[in-house]
Every structure is written in structure tokens, then in C-alpha cells.
Amino acid sequence: WVANSLDFNKDYDASVFETTIRVVGGLLSAYDLSRDNVFLEKARDIADRLLPAWDTTTGIPYNVINLARGNAHNPGWAGGQSILADSGTEQLEFIALSQRTGDPKYQEKVEKVIVALNKTFPADGLLPIYINPDTATGSYSTITFGAMGDSFYEYLLKAWIQGNKTSSLKLYREMWETSMKGLLSLIRRSTPSSFAYICEKNGDSLTDKMDELACFAPGMLALGSSGYGPDEAKKFLSLAEELAWTCYSFYQSTPTKLAGENYFFNPGQDMTVGTSWNILRPETVESLFYLWRLTGNKTYQEWGWNIFQAFEKNSRIESGYVGLKDVNTGVKDNKMQSFFLAETLKYLYLLFSPPTVIPLDEWVFNTEAHPLRIVNRNDANLAALEGQHKPVIKIRSRKTGRLGGN
Ligand code: DMJ
């Protein structure tokens, strides 16, 4: 079907982010697992159609592009701005594509984004969800590890892992560690039960709200913890375990035992569901998978099994699975998101498979759970791009002296 029927020449306005993580990522993963060139060729075809999205003054991409015509823009509801997660979650796929095709153009586009964001990266490493593509700076908007922010932080860590953590990638790891300082500043604990949660931030004020989407963070923290010295590593792993308990409790706290889309933390009440739908999201089971792999603690398998049972009970229909309109009543919607197969069921499967199935020292999962092979990176691409932005310091020759020259 991929060889004979898959055709990307469609007059269709596609999300650059969703197409990258689902389609480019899926095809590259199929290539890495099978070594069948047809997948690499198709990945290149769709990536070439996405590339013009990065042709902006700063290199921060527009987030929507027409696949047949190549004209790009930002969604109307974003007021002309680019979205942080949509602009900073293509690194793994485009770097992998450059590595596998030998053509550096894909990697260059996505690394320019990181270098541009790093130029004005704040001390806490937290960026607002709207970025101005003309200036590469954040516009006044929410800071969050949930919707529209999340996978930017995930890819800082994973791009470093993807290249086998070599020194040529240290910018990614440094930026990620800076952002983790910011994450720590957003942690609060509920009353009466002391659930740790990650707040959102607007200007100087924190909101006691956490999206289920932010439940990828425990897995990310666990995965990144080993890059720290022993004390820090312990601290981050223990925070990851605390946050995973909170996320699991998002599920346990509802009558269906499935989590709502977001939660509020009010004094004395622990967690209260806000938006109450469930669209079969994977983030909590993703984190349980990482925690089980990295700690060996079987509790995470038990929690994953309970979540799986709740999907079986509430979401299973004859032809597949559907989301719920409301986790309190169990009323179903009529949609099965592709990430239920790509991520939710895959992470559950891996939670009950031996660690030798897709070992984490050989593979890195993109944000849609498509495994990509870790390939050593020692190229100078990132350093060269950084150099382009450094102020050019002219060394005066002794001859021209202080006032000399032209
Ligand atoms: C997935 O498409 C990806 O994990 C993405 O990063 C955000 N969340 C959805 C699934 O919830």
C-alpha cells in the first residue's frame, strides 16, 4: 500500500507538526525496523513537501502548509504566531532523515530553530506557547508542560539521546537542564494528600492546573535523570515517581477510572477534573513504561494494567475503541485517534514485554512513540549554526592600531 497507493500530492492544509510526528516519524521508524527503502523514499517525499514551512525570516516554521502547493501560514486562531510545540518538535524526524539520506538540508532547518530559540533562552528555560516567527521570541502567553508546550521540552532531551549524547549535542542537553530548573519552579503539592503537580504560568502568576498531556513529564524526567550526577539524578527520578502517582490518580479519581483532559488543584480538595473528556491519550502509560524500564518496579505494570482494563471496559466497541465525552458518565464519542494505536497500546504492550524489545540504549521514541535508531552524531552542524549567530569580533592588527584602518 505504501509503495503503490500512498500519495502525498494532496491539495490539503496539513499541520507541519502532526504530519512530522505521525507520518514522517512513522515512515522512518518503519524504515529503521525493516530497512526497506520504500519507507525512506516516502518519508523524503512528505518531508520535502513540509520544508518550505521553515522559510521564514528567523527559521521558526509556520505551522500549516498545503501539501500540493507548498504555501505555508500559521493557524488563524494563533493570531499569526507560531506555536512552541508545533515549531520545536521536528528535530528527531528531520535529523534522522538527514542521517539516513545523507542530505543535510532537513537537519539544518530544524536545528536552526533550536539555535534561534537559544539566543534569547530565559534563565528558567521556560518559553511561552506562542512564538513570533519574525523575531523568534516568545509572545505574552501561557507557559505549560501541557498543550502546545509539551514536546518542545521532550525533544531537547531526545535529540541529545538520538545522537548518542555526544559532545557535539551538548546544547540540547544544556537547554533541557535549564528548562528542568524551570519545571522545578512550577511544582506544587496539593492538600490534603500532597500530590505533586506541574502548574501553568501566566506572567508572574501560577495556575494550579495540569493537563493530562503533561503526564509525559514523569517519563521524560526519568529518562533524563541518568545524565545528572548521582544526587540530582535521584532527585529527578523521585520527582518523576511522584508525578506518575499523580497522573495515575487522575485515572483512579473518576467513576470510569479513565482520566479527564485536565485537572485543577484547589486547597483542601486535591484534584478536580476540569475538561472531562478522554480521547484515549497515551501520556500516563508512556511514563509508566519508562518508569518500569528504568526502576524495574512492577507497581508500574499494575497501574498500566488497571488503565488498560478501564479502556477495555469503557472504550472498546465492536470495530475498535472510542473516546469518552465524559469520564464521569462514561458516555462515548465516535472517534479512535491514531495515537491510540501508535502510542497508548504500544506503550502498554512494551510495559509487559522484556526490556530487550526496543532497548532504550539503541532506540529513542519520537513523541508519537515511533522508535528511531540511535546513531552516533559527531557532525559540526549545530556548532556551525551557533557560530553563525555569534557576534563577529574583529581582531585589530598591530599595524592598524586603535584609530587606524578604514
Ligand atoms: C500525541 O500526538 C503526541 O504525543 C504529542 O506530542 C502530544 N500528544 C498526542 C497524544 O495525546
For residue 177 the three cell numbers come to 537542564
Q: pLDDT value at position 117?
A: 98
- Give the separation between CA 130 and CA 139, rounded to whole angstroms: 5
In eight-state DSSP terms, residue 391 is P
- Give the separation between CA 375 and CA 247, rounded to whole angstroms: 32
- Which residues are tagged catalytic? 18, 150, 261, 283
| Nearest residue by C-alpha to atom 10 in ligand 1 | 281
Give me ligand 1 centre to Cα 404, in Å.
Answer: 59
- Cβ-proximal residues to 50 (8 Å cutoff; 6+ apart), any chain: 14, 16, 19, 20, 24, 65
| Nearest residue by C-alpha to atom 5 in ligand 1 | 367
Residue 389: pLDDT band (50, 70, 90) is low
Asked if residue 280 has pLDDT above 60, the reply is yes
Asked if residue 259 has pLDDT above 50, the reply is yes
Which of ligand 1's atoms lies nearest the C-alpha of 89? 6
Alpha helices in 163-282 (DSSP H): 170-185, 217-225, 230-252
The residue to mutate among 24, 84, 144, 213, having the most atoms of ligand 1 within 8 angstroms of its beta carbon, is 213
Taking residue 303's Cβ as centre, other Cβ atoms within 10 Å add up to 24
Which tens digits make up the pLDDT trace of 45-82?
A: 999 999 999 999 999 999 999 999 999 999 999 999 99
Q: What's at 78, amino acid-wise?
A: A
Q: Is 142 annotated as a binding residue?
A: no
Give me ligand 1 centre to Cα 368, in Å.
Answer: 6
- Give the separation between CA 327 and CA 258, rounded to whole angstroms: 6
**Contact residues of ligand 1, CB 6 A cut-off:** 150-151, 213, 281-282, 339, 343, 367-368
Q: Are 256 and 305 in contact (CB under 8 A)?
A: no
**DSSP structure string for 280-296:** ---HHHHHHHHHHHHH-
Give me ligand 1 centre to Cα 25, in Å.
Answer: 13
> 0.75 cut: is pTM over it?
yes
Q: Are 286 and 308 in contact (CB under 8 A)?
A: no
Q: pLDDT value at position 394?
A: 47
- Cβ-proximal residues to 194 (8 Å cutoff; 6+ apart), any chain: none
